[in-house]
Amino acid sequence: METFISTNTLSISLAVAALWVLYLIAYESYNISSKHPLHHVPGPKLAAMTVLYEFWYDMILGGGYTKRIKEMHETYGESMHPYSTHLKKHVDEIQQAHLYALVRMKYIATTLHL
């Protein structure tokens, strides 16, 4: 009796998944290494490694990433972000637009029953 997914296909799928995970680890390690062009910019290393930091504040905590950016500016100074002076002038506008986008995404998700 033949199974739906053969052992060979499963092995290849697992190998591809393992390679993808290794690629992600290498990519994230590069983002915090001294070889990266922005390694001298202060800030949390987790935020430099991956977008999951922003995802956590925006999606899990409900849109608090722009507030977190303000806190990081206070902690790490103005050089924390390449566009820091521009962003600092318009943080309130950015927060409003960001919160509107989150509300819109939640509305679409509930409308589509996702």
Confidence of residue 88 (pLDDT cuts 50, 70, 90): low
> Which residues, other chains included, contact 30 with Cβ-Cβ below 8 Å and sequence gap of 6+?
36
- pLDDT on residue 8: 83
Please write the tens of the pLDDT for every residue from 23-71.
988 988 888 888 877 777 788 888 888 888 888 888 888 888 888 888 8
Cα angle: 103, vertex 106, 107; to 5 degrees: 85
Confidence of residue 14 (pLDDT cuts 50, 70, 90): very high
